Amino acid sequence: MLQFNRWQTGFILLIVAFGAYFTVPNFFPADKIPPGLPKSQLTLGLDLQGGSYLLLEVDTDKVLADRMSNLLGDIRTALRGASSGSRDRITYADLERQGNTITVRIRDEAEVDEALDRLRDLSQPLGAFGGLGRNIAIRNDGTLITLEMTPEAEQFYAANAVQDSIEVVRRRIDAMGTKEPLIQKSGENRLVVQVPGDSDSEALKNVINRTGQLSFHMVDPSVSLADAQRGLLPPRRIMLPTDDDPSPYLVLEENPLIPAVSGMRRARMSASALPSCSMSGSFPPR
């Protein structure tokens, strides 16, 4: 028969009392826990109390497309000389985008070297220390210059979009007051979301799928409000309403100054990378 010293017995009883103190609240409804007891309770999984299960897919193709659209605007700015502080405009005949590749043909062969110097400034390192490669590769064939997103950049932007999506989904679910959702990556661009105790998967899906984007555009003061209201807008300009009475509309450059923020990145929230639900379901408790 086991024999315990008095101090050993006291230590065991202390552990039992400590466990009971944190276990008792689980026998009461969350809003009727007696005073003096902890307010936290154990969260049961889907197999014990049921809940919602969602499989989300992040639209990484949209993220990469937005990056290329922004790059298109940066190329125009660089060739105008606006980004380099130069007033010399480099003229080009064609500027086309196909997938993750942009080609531009310089009219004057003598300006090709200058154009390459300006466009090389658009090639930026990836990651905090630049050890992940560069965002675009630049090459030329005579007067034709090609800018292509590198495979490293595609993986980097897609991975960031997925990670940012996890944070966005978590914030949106937490705002509903739901306790301890499980959100984890599945495969390359999918997220698994498990929310114990929430059986309304459609409402949960609607909250997660809310679309929100934030982008920053330069105002174009050269266009008069009267011309804009008559539809006389220059190319790549948009008109948006404001809450300002003296000037109810603003004419903006179509291409954003800062990439769009969509639910997940800082100017990133990639955004653009807002997840879309591809499968959902509710599970009853066992």
pLDDT over 90, % of the chain? 19
Pair 262, 200 in one domain = yes
pLDDT at 86: 59
What are the CA-CA distances from residue 100 to residues 25, 71, 133, 164 (Å)? 56, 10, 16, 22
The span from the CA of 23 to the CA of 38, in Å, is 9
pLDDT digits over 92-138, tens only? 988 999 999 999 999 999 999 999 999 999 999 988 777 788 999 99
pLDDT over 60 at 260, yes or no: no
User: Which residues, including other chains, have CB under 8 Å from residue 23's CB and lie 6 or more apart?
Assistant: none
Pair 53, 191 in one domain = yes
pLDDT at 23: 80
Give the residue with greater pLDDT, 28 vs 58. Answer: 58
pLDDT range class, residue 246, cuts 50, 70, 90: low
pLDDT over 60 at 280, yes or no: no
Pair 162, 248 in one domain = yes
Query: What is the tally of structural domains in the chain?
Result: 3
pLDDT range class, residue 250, cuts 50, 70, 90: confident
pLDDT over 70 at 61, yes or no: yes
pLDDT at 154: 92
Pair 162, 256 in one domain = yes
DSSP E strands: which ranges in the chain?
51-58, 92-98, 101-106, 136-141, 144-149, 182-186, 190-196, 213-216, 237-241, 249-253, 258-262, 275-283
pLDDT at 25: 77
Domain that holds residue 27: 7-42
Pair 73, 137 in one domain = yes
Give the residue with greater pLDDT, 260 vs 111. Answer: 111
pLDDT over 80 at 231, yes or no: no
CA 27 to chain centre: 41
Pair 55, 72 in one domain = no
pLDDT over 80 at 67, yes or no: yes
pLDDT at 146: 95
Indicate the average pLDDT of the chain: 76
Pair 210, 277 in one domain = yes
Pair 81, 119 in one domain = yes
Pair 176, 248 in one domain = yes
pLDDT at 271: 28
pLDDT at 139: 93
Residue 28 covered by a domain: yes
Highest mean pLDDT among 22-36, 60-74, 140-154, 198-212: 140-154
Highest mean pLDDT among 34-48, 109-123, 268-282: 109-123
- Which two tokens mark 129? 């220390």
CATH label of the domain that carries residue 220: 3.30.70.3400
Pair 207, 85 in one domain = no
Residue 2 covered by a domain: no
Pair 271, 166 in one domain = yes
Q: Mean pLDDT across the stretch 184-209?
A: 76
Q: Look at residue 202 and give its three-state secondary structure.
A: helix
Residue 1 covered by a domain: no
pLDDT at 141: 92
CA 46 to chain centre: 28
